[in-house]
Structure 1
Amino acid sequence: DIPQQTGWFYPASGKSQVTDALVNPSIIEKPNINDFMISQTWARMGEESRFNCCKILNCGLGLPPRDAIPGMQRLELRDTYRKSVLPRLREFDPDIIFISAGFDAHRKDTMNFGYVGMVEDDYEWVTEQIVKVANSCCNGRVVSVLEGGYKVHGGIVSPFARSVASHVRALVDGGRSRELYDPNDCSWESQFERHILEERERKRQQKQERQMKAMEMARRLHDDEDEEPTRKRRRNQIDYKDLYEQMKREEAET
């Protein structure tokens, strides 16, 4: 009896499941026609993974806390690719890479409620990394198919169109450069981006503190100005005519 296969995902059926990356690709053999029809994929499977194939690498992102540094969610997304996705993709050593290119994680796309908050630069970066892996293992063979993205208001300047343009630009530039994937570059880049983000947050907090101090000083000056006219109003009014007459009398007496 063949064990029931699990871990399948659209366009087949069933729930996703996380398994370890294949350790020894050299022992992988092509599936028979029955496996192909059931799974609707031509992914190569070894004997151990035939009934428990890693179709989905689940790398969900948690919601950012209330006090999260602005932009930290984007860095966490990139680090997830650097640490979990790209190394395993390179280890799998594919013959060709297919990208289901969805752009609904854009921070201006209401579909994701702003939880991920990607921008055009992030889509371009992810594409660049995938192309580097493709250059390293499959002679740069990448096929990208549009999957999603719903903030289309604005036409060619909409978040969707700008994201697509960034994605295509990275595909073209990556194919021209033939740059290879290097995990050491990913590690250095992560540290550099984190340093830049923390430095930006430090300057933002300093600016906020200066603004708060300026507002406090302005409030104190305003309070002093409010009190000063009150003291003046309490003084007796001067009759300059009587004062002039008095000065004349004193002058005559002398």
Structure 2
Amino acid sequence: MKKTDVTAIINAHNEGLILTGTLKSVSKAVQRAEEGGLSVEVMVVADRCDDLTQDVLNDFDEIPVKLVEGDNGDLAESRNQGVKLAEGEFIAFIDGDDLWGADWLLNAVEAARKEKRECIWHPEVNLYFAENHQWFFHHHDMDSPDFKVENLLVINYWTALSFARKKVYVDNPYVRNQISKGMGYEDWSWNCSTIAKGLVHKVVPETCHFVRKKEFSLVRESVQADVMVSRHGLYNHLFQDKKRKFAKR
């Protein structure tokens, strides 16, 4: 039996009809990946979905989809749930209202297999779009000479739509958001924690994701609640690094 190269994990909640676009986007990326000789598993983690979102999932038949019911009430836990059940060597995340470029899976696997280090991969560019405007955001590559890791303490360099080997996600589970207690931004916390453990975040050249900006989202809820980034090890990592450099003087 052929091994599964990639598990594409779609995190769904109450996206309704918008989820159709995401499913079609994933379908196109899967088709391109399979044309390139890859085997792809598609999984939807449906966390407390409303009826319309569930209907969209039930009606979609372009590609086989493994539907996983969740009762997490939290995006971080839903990501972890998908990781545990994934069969792929690699995992690629996408949220239920965003879109991938068609070559994302194929190009990400190619980049990861050429790289000797264990890396976490992101698209080179994000196109953010809302009802009346859109803008580009270029992801940072840690191998770039102008990359400054300390800036990650005040700004999140990468979105949650990451790509890496399953082992990376198993060894580094997402921390549950606790907005009521003032802690959140699970993707930002995860980015900091993985760097503290020695992992490298890189971009896949000439790739793009399309990220929908909504009137209400987990990020907006976090901003309004004035939450902090969940606990991570980057502060200590940077302190120890500075301490080692000082000791060598």
Shorter-chain-normalised TM-score: which range? Answer: under 0.3
Between Structure 1 and Structure 2, which shows a larger proportion of helix residues?
1
- Which of 1 and 2 has greater Rg? 1
Higher RCO, 1 or 2 (CA under 8 Å, sep at least 6)?
2
